[in-house]
A and B are shown apart, each in its own frame.
Chain A
Amino acid sequence: MTTSDSEEDSYDERSALMSSETPPVPSYQPEQSDPDPSAQGPVLRRAKSSERGPGPEPELDEEEELTLKYGAKHVIMLFIPVTLCMVVVVATIKSIGFYTEKTNQRLIYTPFSEDEVSVGRRLLNSFLNSIVMISVIVVMTIFLVMLYKYRCYKFIHGWLILSSLMLLFWFSYLYLGELFKNYNLAMDFPTVGVLIWNFGAVGMICIHWKGPLQLQQAYLIIISALMALVFIKYLPEWSTWVILGAISIYDLVAVLSPKGPLRMLVETAQERNEPIFPALIYSSGMAWMVGMANPAEGGRQQSDAEAQEAGGSLEAEDSPDPPAGAQGACPSGEDQEEESGVKLGLGDFIFYSVLVGKAAATGGDWNTTLACFVAILIGLCLTLLLLAIFKKALPALPISIAFGLVFYFSTDYLVQPFMDNLATNQYYI
């Protein structure tokens, strides 16, 4: 089976992680902080977080504290979708045999076969495969960035729509088929038709148009998982690991170097003040706040802020909503709404899941899988920490994938036999 190349491009420029805090807004007068610091504290601090330049007595300690405090929240908010995606992939790998069956079919992106006898030859082929794959990705990314720069929006949208169509309809159809075969259930075409049509159409609406935030997040997680499963099935074993390493390096270069395509994409989008295409980015969409000079609004904001502090989950509905008055009656000139959430590219989801899924498929047992899982989450934490410090788009792949690879190989080849030996000899430490 050859897959079209539309999905290739659409994931790699997703491998960027950025904070979505917009430029500073004017905060309200600081004298409101005095009467009730405990309750209004969170609100004031949050308004202050938006200040990067000189503001009314910027208390740097509070700002740093705030950065770290909200950094922690963002970490949790990203843990949940990444974990969900990995859980879906691992559950599928462990239960449905289809995705781990040996197949001679390969993607056209990995033309060199790994059925070689000698280790050296096999290694060489996997490196060549990864070179082919990475060059395809680089070409696609540069193409996409060029299109974006020259404002060929229609083309890009058409491309993204085609690729999400394929993911939402075709891959989910195949997945559903395998699921039913695995559990030996009968299913008829009309029902399957209705199911897939509903799933796909609502998915297209949610991702490309407007829909509830949670549903959009759920769909993005599902399509990342589907994509990861395709990769796990069709990429040869050794090539997978080499490709994972190579794409982390590419991600590092593409996002951080001044001429890197992903960096140019992010910067162009920020210059034009446009959001990056919804189909490429997972947005945690946390808090919306309004910075206004009106003390009455401040009171309402404070209760919302407390509700949000208590919630702190992925749900956007818990977040403090701008007071209803802000939409109509209040001076719109001074309002600026800020979304402080974190955005993670879908490519990151996909490659994290590929790593963990491959570990589950080929690794020894659950030790390896869990070790990779923990490694990736630690890498994600560190990346978010760096994001809080540097406050610009960062590559999310390198640290996590590096940890993941190290943990996979060390667990599979060192820890696993060690634990087995201990258990066999009944030696408890």
Chain B
Amino acid sequence: MNLERVSNEEKLGLCRKYYLGGFAFLPFLWLVNVVWFFQEAFIKPAYTEQLQIKAYVKWSGLGLAIWVAVLTTWITIYQHYRAQWGEVGDYLSFTIPLGIP
């Protein structure tokens, strides 16, 4: 859908729903929220709902940053220590590379 054709209240509603939806373990939704509403929130000339949209975009961005940090940490730990964990490592693994211990 094209944001230009939509009224400001609807934009706010959409931004808000995307923000709330992201709490269901959906950082991707927060990413989409940030990218999609970035222009609306920060670049466009001010209108009534813009403040709230800005707030939602900022909080989505923050949530996204936290998720990225957590995921990166976990992935690094997993990749590094997988072999040493033995059975637990295998249990956690979706795919196990061949030929590498």
Query: Is there an interface contact between B97 and A186, defined as CB atoms closer than 8 Å?
Result: yes
- In whole Å, how far is B31's beta carbon from the nearest beta carbon of chain A? 9
**Contact residues of A: prevailing secondary structure:** helix
Residue of chain B at shortest CB distance from A206: B32
* Contact status A199-B28, CB under 8 Å: yes
Determine how close the nearest CB of chain B comes to the CB of A205; give it in whole angstroms: 7
How distant is A202 from chain B, measured CB to nearest CB, in Å? 5
Least Cβ–Cβ distance between A297 and chain B, in angstroms: 14
Residue among B29, B74, B94, B97 making CB contact with A184, cutoff 8 Å: B97
Instruction: Determine, out of A36-44, A111-119, A208-216, the stretch whose residues face the partner at the interface.
Output: A208-216
In the complex, the number of residue pairs spanning A and B with C-beta atoms less than 8 Å apart equals: 85
With contact pairs A184-B99, A210-B14 given, residues A197 and B26 touching in the complex (Cβ less than 8 Å): yes
B residues apposed to A, CB below 8 Å: 1-5, 7, 14, 21, 24-29, 32, 35-36, 71, 74-75, 78-79, 82, 92-100
Are A322 and B4 neighbours in the complex by a CB distance under 8 Å? Answer: yes
| A386 within 8 Å of B (CB atoms) | no
**B95 & A181 in contact (Cβ 8 Å cutoff):** yes
Q: Give the residues in chain A near B29, CB-CB below 8 Å.
A: 198, 201-202, 205
User: Is A288 touching B26 in the complex (CB atoms < 8 A)?
Assistant: no
Q: Which of B2, B25, B98, B100 contacts A321 (CB 8 A)?
A: B2
Query: A329 near B: Cβ within 8 Å?
Result: no
In the complex the two chains form, what is the Cα distance from A205 to B25 in whole Å? 14
Taking a contact as CB atoms under 8 Å apart, the answer to whether B95 and A316 are in contact is no
Given contacts A197-B25, A212-B36, A215-B32, contact A319 B93 (CB under 8 A): no
Contact B71–A191 (Cβ < 8 Å): yes
> Is the C-beta of A58 less than 8 angstroms from some C-beta in chain B?
no
Which residues of B lie under 8 Å from residue A184 when comparing CB positions? 97-100
